[in-house]
């Protein structure tokens, strides 16, 4: 799809066609959304679709996960007129941090960190990333936010679910299902396309 083309009818997820498939082999993610971010209307509609389920919800802070979650998270924070917190891969921050180990989608063991002075107790945090495949990265980010007293979404009561998780795609994996069951989630993949995304087609 041309990066200047805007379809006459913009259904939810129309911009997913801008993403490029993996041409480099199994050590890489199967699909690259970064081309989507180059399309002005595509990026705007993606952000709008991610925020739609959270309309009227109190959100104090947006947090994005290293590295591609920084792009989408910053765009979401700007749309909401909220601050943005970067959750980093360990070893990059020169201030006091809290760390959390995790296993990423490729099975590699990693560590994530967040500065300890950016989340006030009770702050309602919207976590943003590009993709949830196995859920390990997002689960670690949630643990970091909650250990610092932030609220991603806890409990079954509506008032206790003020923010949550926003990503382009949540795959139907064990981790993806756990996330959907326990947190308020937004994603951009229409139901008719979800099976294709789950099969990496």
The predicted-structure confidence for 161-173, as pLDDT tens digits, reads as follows: 447 999 999 999 9
CATH number for the domain formed by residue range(s) 42-196: 3.40.50.2020
**What is the pTM assigned to this prediction?**
0.92
Domain boundaries, the chain: 42-196
Q: What is the mean pLDDT of each run of 10 residues along the chain (201 residues)?
A: 88 95 90 94 97 92 95 98 97 96 90 96 95 95 94 54 84 95 94 95 88
Q: Return the HEC string of the chain.
A: CCCCCCCCCCCCCHHHHHCEECCCCCCCCCEEHHHHHHCHHHHHHHHHHHHHHHCCCCCCEEEEECCHHHHHHHHHHHHHCCEEEEEEECCCCCCCEEEEEEECCCCCEEEEEEECCCCCCCCEEEEEEEEECCCHHHHHHHHHHHHCCCECCCCCCHHHCCCEEEEEEECCCHHHHHHHHHCCEECCCCCCCHHHHHCCC
């Amino acid at each position: 799809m041309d990066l200047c083309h805007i379809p006459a009818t913009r259904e939810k997820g129309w911009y997913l066609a801008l993403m490029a498939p993996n041409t480099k082999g199994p050590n890489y993610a199967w699909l690259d959304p970064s081309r989507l971010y180059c399309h002005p209307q595509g990026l705007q509609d993606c952000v709008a679709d991610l925020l739609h389920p959270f309309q009227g919800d109190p959100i104090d802070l947006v947090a994005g996960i290293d590295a591609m979650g920084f792009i989408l998270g910053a765009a979401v924070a700007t749309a909401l007129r909220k601050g943005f917190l970067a959750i980093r891969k360990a070893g990059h921050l020169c201030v006091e941090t809290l760390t959390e180990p995790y296993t990423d989608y490729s099975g590699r063991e990693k560590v994530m960190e967040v500065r300890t002075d950016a989340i006030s107790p009770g702050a309602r945090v919207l976590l943003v990333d590009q993709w949830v495949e196995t859920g390990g990265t997002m689960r670690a980010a949630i643990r970091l936010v909650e250990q610092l007293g932030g609220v991603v979404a806890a409990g079954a009561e509506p008032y206790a679910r003020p923010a949550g998780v926003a990503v382009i795609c949540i795959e139907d994996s064990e981790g993806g299902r756990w996330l959907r069951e326990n947190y308020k989630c937004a994603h951009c993949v229409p139901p008719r396309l979800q099976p294709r995304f789950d099969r990496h087609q």
